[in-house]
Amino acid sequence: MSTPVIETRNLQKHYVLGAETVRALRGVDVTIQRNEYVAMMGPSGSGKSTFMNLIGCLDTPTAGEYILSGHAVAGLDDDELARIRNKEIGFVFQTFNLLPRSTALENVELPLVYAGVPKHERKERATEALRWVELLDRAQHRPNEMSGGQRQRVAIARALVTRPAIILADEPTGNLDSQTSEEIMNVFDRLHGQGQTIIMVTHEADIAARAERVITLRDGVVHSDHLQTPRRSAALRVAVEA
């Protein structure tokens, strides 16, 4: 067996709010292999956003272990956590989180700036990422000059540009109409087809149906974890079969 890309053991997260302790996660055991396509579901307050924050190294657990690509995350300092976030994890958010005054190309380059990548290499890699999401013709456009779907594709290109081990997507179609959502999900399908590990939080059953595995959290624990035959669009199936 290969080393899992993500492994959590009795992962817990507690928040103290005044005199009350909120147990957002009560002990989550999850193993995710490379090239898995996983949807995380659960009602509001189930712990799915907390779980994503922990595996994205945006927060630290109260108890338990988190192992990323064979390395224990507990005990890492802020600089090491920032390095892992920038190198190992690509983030895609519901609200895009693009810099409004920067072009698409500059937004995609940003993680490489933080990583200290030379300017010429940054431009080459950002250009390739935009080409991959079929948005190179919008490279010099700013976010307010693009549609919601185009902005989300820029965000996906930005997540890809560091060549991360995993993509974490938090409600990536939440602000999009159904047709644009389908287009964005086709991008994720292509990504997975090329070997990318994807973990996606969603509350929409039709979006979760695109994944190969669905993990449902409830009251801070894993309620169900099952494999499924993913639904792909007819157009994508035709393209793959051709």
pLDDT tens, the chain, 242 aa long: 578 999 999 999 999 999 999 999 999 999 999 999 999 999 999 999 999 999 999 999 999 999 998 889 987 888 888 888 888 999 999 999 999 999 999 999 999 998 999 999 999 999 999 999 999 999 999 999 999 999 999 999 999 999 999 999 999 999 899 999 999 999 999 999 999 999 999 999 999 999 999 999 999 999 999 999 988 754 444 444 44
Taking the model in full, what pTM does it have?
0.92
Q: How many CB atoms lie within 10 A of CB 216?
A: 17
Amino acid at 40: M
Dihedral (Cα; 50, 30, 70, 111), 10-degree rounding: -40
Specify which residues 68 forms β-bridges with. Answer: 6, 71
The sheet that has 6-17: what strands, in order across it? 20-32, 6-17, 63-68, 71-72
- CA angle, 89 then 95 then 99, to 5°: 80
